[in-house]
Structure 1
C-alpha cells in the first residue's frame, strides 16, 4: 500500500506546491509551522478540496488527475479522517457515530475485526453515551474508531492531539502506536510537535509556506540540520534503535544497549530484550574532550566527530559517530553505526578546539531522552 502526491493549488495568498511519495505502510508525519499548508494538503487528499492541478494516487487507484479529469468524490476514496476537534454528531450516540460511515461502506470489515477495534480503543462501555458526556480523549478515541470501522485504504490524522492536555495525549498516543504496528495502511499524521514525530513516525514530510522542503525516513530527517532555519520550529536530533539490556526497578532506571553502548533512561517497566526507539535532541547532547567524572549525567558515550555544520548565528551542529576506533567515520556511512547530533555554541567549539575525526565524549542526561520510548 502506497501513496503518491503531486499537487499545485492557490488558496488565498498561499500557493501549495507539494510532491512526495510514500512507498509503504506506516505513519508519515506531515510537519511544519502553522500556516504552511498542512491541513489544506490533507483536505485535498481527502477530496474535500479540489486542487488546481496535479495527481493523487492511493495504492493502485488514481483518485485525482487533472490532465485526465479524474476527481473521485470523497465518499469513493476510502479515506478515514480524524479531525483536530473530533467532529462527532452531538445528537447521536457513540454507537451511531461509530457506525455512521461503516453502514454506507461496501467494503465492510468482518465482525470480529470490528470488535477488535472497539476492544483496542476501549470504547465498548461508551456506546450509549453522547459526545457532550465524553472527555476530550474519549472523543478522539471514538473519532478514531469511526475512521477505522469504515475500512479505509489510507488514514488522515489532522493534529489529533493538539486540543488535548498532556495527560489526554499520553492516553491517546498508545492507540496510534498500535495502529501503526497492526493496521498495514498508510497514515498521514499532521503535526507541528516534533516529539510526536519522533515517537510515532516512520517517514516525514517537512513543509513550509506551501512547499515540501524535504521528505524521507524519520531517522535521517530528524538529523537534518539544514531544515532548522527553513521550517521554523524544526528541532534537529537523533532517533536511535536500542534494546533493553537490564533494568533496576528499585533504582527506577532501565539500561539499554545501543550499538554496543549502554544508555541509561528512566525506568520503562518493560521486559529485557525488548526493542525500543528513543529520541535525543541535539540541544541536549554535551561534548567533552575527556570522560567527565562525578557528574549527575548517566550517559558518557565515546564518539568520533564526523561532521561539523557551521550555522548562521552563535551555534554549531556536530555529527558524532558511536565509537573511538579508527574506522568510525567509515562505519557510520557503510554499516549504519548510529550518529548522534549535538548543538553547542561556537565559543564552546573554539574553547575545546574541536575538529573533524576528533575522538570525544557525548554526555547525555537520562531525563532528556524522550519517552515513553516506543516498541519497535
Structure 2
C-alpha cells in the first residue's frame, strides 16, 4: 500500500541564498509553507513542482519525482499550480480557459467536474468574459477552477491572495475553505500571512532564511513562540469551537470552546451550531489579576500560567497560558511581567480583543 505523503529533501543554491529542507507533508488537507519574504517559500514550491532546479529527492505517495536515478518533468508530475497572479490565457474567455484544461486533464477516463467547480467558485456568470473584464478576485477564482479541472493528485498554490486587496482576499477565502472541505485533494499553500495559515491550514512548515525552523500540526506550530524574526510577530493560537448563540441586536456570536467561558466574536453571518476556527494573536492578549469591568474588551478568560520565556526582543516576554482545554500565548513587556509578579502556575485573567478573533 502506498504511503500517503510528500517528502522533499532538497537543496537549492541561488547565490547568495541557499535553501535546505527535509520535510514530510501529509497527502491530505492543507499543508502551509509559511515564512517572511525571502525565506524560500516560493523556491521550495517551485522545486517540488519541477520548475526550480535542485539537488535531492522528492517523492509523492511512494513514487519518485526526483531522485533514485529519476527526474520527472513538471508535465509528468500529477499536479496543478496556481500562481500569485491569475495565469488565465488573456485571449480566451473563462469558458475557453476551462475547455483548455479539460483537453489536458491528467485523468482522461474520469468524468469531468466542470459543473461542480463552476458552482463551487460561483463563476457561471463569468464564462463569456475574458480576463481583462474580470476583477482580481474573479480572475483568481477562475484560475483555481481551471487548475482543478486538470484533476491533479495534488494542488500547489503560491500565495494566491498576495496580489489582492483586503476586500478581495476576504471574498476568496470562503471559496478556498469550501474547496478544502468538499474536495479530497491535498493542497500545498504558500503564504506569509498567519491569518491565512490559521484559517486554512492543517499542517505547517515554517521557513526562515532557507531553513525549516518548525514543522508539524498547525495547532502546535503556529502557537510556537520560538519562531525567529518576522515570524515571531505572527505567533498566536488557533482555537476551534461551536457557535452557542447569536445576538442579533449587537451582531455578536458566543463561541463555546474548550473553556467553560464563552468567547465573543463578530457574528459575520454565523448561526448557532456552526463550527468555527478562531485565531488569537499573542499580541492581542493582555493580562491582569482580576476580570476587567466596564471595559471595551469583551473576553476575559481565567487561566493558569504554564510557562514564561524570553522573547527574541529583549523588551518582551512570552507567557504560555492554559484556560481549561485551551492553550494561549501572549507577548507582554518584561516591565509588565515584573509589575504583575508573573510566575509559573499562577492564576491570571487573559483579556482578548473581540476584533482580534476570526
Work out which of the residue numbers 1, 10, 22 in structure 1 matches 2:13. 10
User: Residue 152 and residue 41 in structure 1: after superposition, are their counterparts in 2 closer, same or farther (change >3 A)?
Assistant: same
Shift of 1:106: 4.6
Q: TM-score, normalised by structure 2?
A: 0.94
Contact 1:237–1:281 under 8 Å retained in 2:
yes
Shift of 1:152: 0.6
> Is the deviation greater in 128-137 or in 299-308?
128-137
**1:77-97 superposed Cα distances (whole Å, 9 cap, x missing partner):** 111111001121111221222
Q: What is residue 326 of structure 2 aligned with on the other side?
A: 338
**2:348 matched to 1:349?**
no
What is the distance in 2 between the residues matched to 1:95 and 1:19?
Answer: 40
Q: What is residue 315 of structure 2 aligned with on the other side?
A: 314
Equivalent positions of 1:239-250 (< 5 A) are: 239-250=238-249
What is the distance in 1 between the residues matched to 2:297 and 2:106?
Answer: 57
User: Residue 109 and residue 271 in structure 1: after superposition, are their counterparts in 2 closer, same or farther (change >3 A)?
Assistant: farther
What is the distance in 2 between the residues matched to 1:203 and 1:173?
Answer: 18
Q: TM-score, normalised by structure 1?
A: 0.90
Q: What is residue 41 of structure 1 aligned with on the other side?
A: 44
- RMSD, matched Cα: 1.6
What is the distance in 2 between the residues matched to 1:183 and 1:233?
Answer: 32
**1:329-358 superposed Cα distances (whole Å, 9 cap, x missing partner):** xxxxxxxx2111111111111001110100
What is the distance in 1 between the residues matched to 2:179 and 2:267?
Answer: 25
What is the distance in 1 between the residues matched to 2:45 and 2:233?
Answer: 20
Equivalent positions of 1:91-240 (< 5 A) are: 91-108=91-108, 110-111=110-111, 113-229=113-229, 232=231, 234-240=233-239
What is the distance in 2 between the residues matched to 1:43 and 1:115?
Answer: 30
Structure 1 gap segments, 5+ residues each: 324-336, 372-376
What is the distance in 2 between the residues matched to 1:232 and 1:122?
Answer: 34
Q: How many residue pairs end up in the alignment?
A: 353
Contact 2:304–2:323 under 8 Å retained in 1:
yes
Shift of 1:111: 4.4
Partner secondary structure for residue 57 of structure 2: strand
Shift of 1:228: 3.6
Q: What is residue 64 of structure 1 aligned with on the other side?
A: 66
Structure 2 gap segments, 5+ residues each: none
> Is the deviation greater in 199-208 or in 94-103?
94-103
What is the distance in 2 between the residues matched to 1:297 and 1:124?
Answer: 43
What is the distance in 1 between the residues matched to 2:297 and 2:152?
Answer: 46
